[in-house]
Amino acid sequence: MISDNYKKTAETYRNLGKKYIENAAAINLRALPEFMKVLPRGGRVLDVGCFGGRDSKKFVDAGFAVTGIDMVDVFIREARIYEPRAEFLEMDLLEIDLPENNFDGILAQAVLLHLEKKDIPKALANFYRILKRGGKVYVGVKAGEGQGWEADKLADNKERFFSYFSKTEIESYMTAAGFKIIFSEMSPDYVGRDKEWIIVWGQKP
Protein backbone atom coordinates (compact mmCIF):
# COMPACT_ATOMS: atom_id res chain seq x y z
CA MET A 1 0.00 0.00 0.00
CA ILE A 2 1.37 3.42 -1.01
CA SER A 3 1.90 5.71 1.98
CA ASP A 4 0.12 9.06 2.19
CA ASN A 5 3.49 10.83 2.36
CA TYR A 6 4.58 9.25 -0.91
CA LYS A 7 1.26 10.06 -2.61
CA LYS A 8 1.30 13.66 -1.38
CA THR A 9 4.85 14.14 -2.62
CA ALA A 10 3.84 12.81 -6.04
CA GLU A 11 0.95 15.29 -6.00
CA THR A 12 3.40 18.12 -5.26
CA TYR A 13 5.40 17.12 -8.32
CA ARG A 14 2.21 16.83 -10.37
CA ASN A 15 1.21 20.36 -9.41
CA LEU A 16 4.67 21.73 -10.17
CA GLY A 17 4.70 19.95 -13.53
CA LYS A 18 6.88 21.59 -16.17
CA LYS A 19 8.13 24.16 -13.66
CA TYR A 20 9.99 21.48 -11.70
CA ILE A 21 11.47 20.05 -14.91
CA GLU A 22 12.78 23.52 -15.74
CA ASN A 23 14.17 24.03 -12.22
CA ALA A 24 16.08 20.74 -12.29
CA ALA A 25 17.09 20.75 -15.97
CA ALA A 26 20.65 21.98 -15.40
CA ILE A 27 21.52 19.50 -12.62
CA ASN A 28 24.52 17.42 -13.62
CA LEU A 29 25.07 14.11 -11.81
CA ARG A 30 28.84 14.13 -11.42
CA ALA A 31 29.18 10.36 -11.08
CA LEU A 32 26.90 9.48 -13.99
CA PRO A 33 29.56 9.34 -16.75
CA GLU A 34 31.62 6.93 -14.62
CA PHE A 35 28.54 4.80 -13.95
CA MET A 36 27.98 4.51 -17.69
CA LYS A 37 31.50 3.13 -18.05
CA VAL A 38 30.74 0.13 -15.82
CA LEU A 39 27.68 -0.84 -17.90
CA PRO A 40 27.88 -2.95 -21.07
CA ARG A 41 28.01 -0.88 -24.22
CA GLY A 42 24.53 -0.51 -25.71
CA GLY A 43 22.95 -2.13 -22.64
CA ARG A 44 19.43 -1.70 -21.32
CA VAL A 45 18.97 0.98 -18.65
CA LEU A 46 15.98 1.83 -16.45
CA ASP A 47 15.71 5.45 -15.28
CA VAL A 48 13.55 5.34 -12.13
CA GLY A 49 11.87 8.64 -11.30
CA CYS A 50 12.81 9.92 -14.74
CA PHE A 51 10.68 13.11 -14.47
CA GLY A 52 11.30 15.08 -17.70
CA GLY A 53 13.84 12.69 -19.21
CA ARG A 54 16.97 14.72 -18.40
CA ASP A 55 19.17 11.74 -17.52
CA SER A 56 17.39 9.35 -19.88
CA LYS A 57 18.57 11.54 -22.75
CA LYS A 58 22.17 11.34 -21.50
CA PHE A 59 21.98 7.55 -21.51
CA VAL A 60 20.42 7.50 -25.00
CA ASP A 61 23.10 9.87 -26.31
CA ALA A 62 25.70 7.44 -24.94
CA GLY A 63 24.18 4.55 -26.91
CA PHE A 64 22.05 2.82 -24.28
CA ALA A 65 18.51 1.47 -24.76
CA VAL A 66 16.49 3.38 -22.16
CA THR A 67 13.19 2.93 -20.36
CA GLY A 68 12.09 5.64 -17.95
CA ILE A 69 9.39 5.31 -15.31
CA ASP A 70 7.66 7.88 -13.12
CA MET A 71 4.32 7.94 -11.32
CA VAL A 72 3.68 11.59 -12.27
CA ASP A 73 1.75 11.69 -15.54
CA VAL A 74 2.87 15.16 -16.63
CA PHE A 75 6.52 14.13 -16.24
CA ILE A 76 5.99 11.14 -18.52
CA ARG A 77 4.25 13.27 -21.15
CA GLU A 78 7.06 15.80 -21.14
CA ALA A 79 9.76 13.11 -21.20
CA ARG A 80 8.24 11.53 -24.31
CA ILE A 81 8.47 14.90 -26.05
CA TYR A 82 11.97 15.68 -24.81
CA GLU A 83 13.54 12.29 -25.68
CA PRO A 84 11.43 10.33 -28.19
CA ARG A 85 14.14 7.69 -28.63
CA ALA A 86 13.47 6.30 -25.13
CA GLU A 87 10.43 4.47 -23.79
CA PHE A 88 8.59 6.19 -20.93
CA LEU A 89 5.98 4.51 -18.74
CA GLU A 90 3.78 5.82 -15.95
CA MET A 91 4.67 3.44 -13.15
CA ASP A 92 5.22 3.35 -9.38
CA LEU A 93 8.65 2.10 -8.29
CA LEU A 94 6.97 0.09 -5.52
CA GLU A 95 4.87 -1.75 -8.12
CA ILE A 96 7.27 -2.18 -11.02
CA ASP A 97 5.66 -4.27 -13.76
CA LEU A 98 8.65 -5.08 -15.95
CA PRO A 99 10.33 -8.39 -16.91
CA GLU A 100 12.78 -10.08 -14.58
CA ASN A 101 16.49 -10.13 -15.44
CA ASN A 102 15.93 -7.50 -18.10
CA PHE A 103 18.16 -4.50 -17.38
CA ASP A 104 21.92 -3.98 -17.30
CA GLY A 105 21.65 -0.82 -15.22
CA ILE A 106 19.23 1.18 -13.09
CA LEU A 107 19.47 4.85 -12.19
CA ALA A 108 17.61 5.75 -8.98
CA GLN A 109 18.80 9.26 -8.19
CA ALA A 110 16.72 11.26 -5.68
CA VAL A 111 14.00 8.58 -5.67
CA LEU A 112 14.30 6.33 -2.62
CA LEU A 113 14.52 9.42 -0.42
CA HIS A 114 10.82 10.13 -1.02
CA LEU A 115 9.85 6.76 0.48
CA GLU A 116 9.26 5.99 4.13
CA LYS A 117 12.13 3.79 5.27
CA LYS A 118 9.83 0.79 5.76
CA ASP A 119 9.28 0.77 1.97
CA ILE A 120 12.96 0.86 0.97
CA PRO A 121 13.40 -2.96 1.03
CA LYS A 122 10.46 -3.44 -1.37
CA ALA A 123 11.83 -0.89 -3.82
CA LEU A 124 15.29 -2.45 -3.77
CA ALA A 125 13.82 -5.94 -4.18
CA ASN A 126 12.08 -4.69 -7.34
CA PHE A 127 15.39 -3.34 -8.65
CA TYR A 128 17.15 -6.63 -7.89
CA ARG A 129 14.44 -8.66 -9.62
CA ILE A 130 14.55 -6.77 -12.92
CA LEU A 131 18.34 -6.49 -13.15
CA LYS A 132 20.32 -9.09 -15.07
CA ARG A 133 23.05 -11.01 -13.27
CA GLY A 134 25.94 -8.60 -12.97
CA GLY A 135 23.57 -5.67 -13.44
CA LYS A 136 24.24 -2.47 -11.52
CA VAL A 137 22.10 0.09 -9.71
CA TYR A 138 23.01 3.71 -8.98
CA VAL A 139 21.29 5.06 -5.84
CA GLY A 140 21.47 8.69 -4.75
CA VAL A 141 19.96 9.83 -1.41
CA LYS A 142 20.40 12.79 0.92
CA ALA A 143 22.66 12.49 3.96
CA GLY A 144 21.13 13.22 7.35
CA GLU A 145 18.89 11.84 10.06
CA GLY A 146 15.19 11.09 10.34
CA GLN A 147 12.40 11.80 7.90
CA GLY A 148 9.88 14.57 7.35
CA TRP A 149 8.55 17.35 5.14
CA GLU A 150 10.81 19.99 3.66
CA ALA A 151 10.40 22.94 1.29
CA ASP A 152 13.19 24.35 -0.88
CA LYS A 153 13.83 26.49 -3.92
CA LEU A 154 14.13 23.56 -6.33
CA ALA A 155 10.43 22.80 -5.76
CA ASP A 156 9.41 26.47 -5.60
CA ASN A 157 9.20 26.19 -1.78
CA LYS A 158 6.52 23.50 -1.98
CA GLU A 159 6.89 20.75 0.63
CA ARG A 160 8.07 17.25 -0.23
CA PHE A 161 8.60 14.24 2.03
CA PHE A 162 12.20 13.11 2.56
CA SER A 163 13.93 10.27 4.34
CA TYR A 164 17.55 10.95 5.27
CA PHE A 165 20.33 8.38 5.56
CA SER A 166 23.84 7.79 6.78
CA LYS A 167 26.27 6.23 4.32
CA THR A 168 26.37 3.02 6.35
CA GLU A 169 22.58 2.92 6.56
CA ILE A 170 21.83 3.07 2.84
CA GLU A 171 24.66 0.61 2.14
CA SER A 172 23.08 -1.77 4.66
CA TYR A 173 19.70 -1.56 2.92
CA MET A 174 21.38 -2.43 -0.37
CA THR A 175 23.42 -5.35 0.93
CA ALA A 176 20.32 -6.71 2.69
CA ALA A 177 18.59 -6.68 -0.72
CA GLY A 178 21.40 -8.83 -2.14
CA PHE A 179 23.57 -6.19 -3.80
CA LYS A 180 27.34 -6.06 -3.60
CA ILE A 181 28.55 -2.49 -3.00
CA ILE A 182 31.01 -1.54 -5.75
CA PHE A 183 31.18 2.25 -5.26
CA SER A 184 30.19 4.65 -2.49
CA GLU A 185 30.91 8.34 -1.94
CA MET A 186 29.68 11.55 -0.37
CA SER A 187 28.90 14.35 -2.81
CA PRO A 188 28.10 18.06 -2.40
CA ASP A 189 24.64 19.30 -3.35
CA TYR A 190 24.01 19.81 -7.05
CA VAL A 191 22.34 23.23 -6.68
CA GLY A 192 24.37 24.70 -3.83
CA ARG A 193 22.09 23.89 -0.90
CA ASP A 194 23.53 23.06 2.51
CA LYS A 195 23.11 19.34 1.87
CA GLU A 196 25.27 16.34 1.12
CA TRP A 197 24.36 13.40 -1.10
CA ILE A 198 25.31 9.76 -0.75
CA ILE A 199 25.96 7.97 -4.02
CA VAL A 200 26.11 4.17 -3.88
CA TRP A 201 26.38 1.66 -6.70
CA GLY A 202 25.31 -1.91 -6.12
CA GLN A 203 25.82 -4.98 -8.31
CA LYS A 204 23.59 -8.03 -8.58
CA PRO A 205 25.83 -11.11 -8.24
Question: Are the CB atoms for 162 and 148 separated by under 8 Å?
Answer: yes
Domain tally for the chain?
1
Q: Is residue 147 part of a domain?
A: yes
CATH number at residue 136: 3.40.50.150
Q: Is residue 29 part of a domain?
A: no
Q: Is residue 31 part of a domain?
A: no
Q: For position 192, what pLDDT does the model report?
A: 67
Structural domain of residue 106, as residue ranges?
Answer: 4-23+36-203
Q: What is the pLDDT of residues 71-127, one digit of tens each?
A: 999 999 999 999 999 999 999 999 999 999 999 999 999 999 999 999 999 999 999
Q: Is residue 191 part of a domain?
A: yes
Phi and psi at residue 3, in whole multiples of 5°?
-70, 155
Question: Are the CB atoms for 187 and 194 separated by under 8 Å?
Answer: no
Q: Is residue 110 part of a domain?
A: yes
Q: Centre a 10 Å sphere on the Cβ of residue 125 and count the other Cβ atoms it contains.
A: 15
Q: Is residue 48 part of a domain?
A: yes
Q: Is residue 124 part of a domain?
A: yes
pTM for the predicted model, two decimal places: 0.95
Instruction: Find, among 101, 106, 107, the residue nearest to 132 by Cα.
Output: 101
Task: For strands 87-90 and 103-109, give the pairing.
Answer: unpaired
Cα separation, 60 vs 120, in Å, equals: 28
- Tens of pLDDT along the chain (205 residues) come to 557 898 899 999 999 989 999 998 888 899 999 999 999 999 999 999 999 999 999 999 999 999 999 999 999 999 999 999 999 999 999 999 999 999 999 999 999 999 999 999 999 999 999 999 999 999 999 999 999 998 988 889 999 999 999 999 999 999 999 999 999 999 987 776 778 999 999 999 9
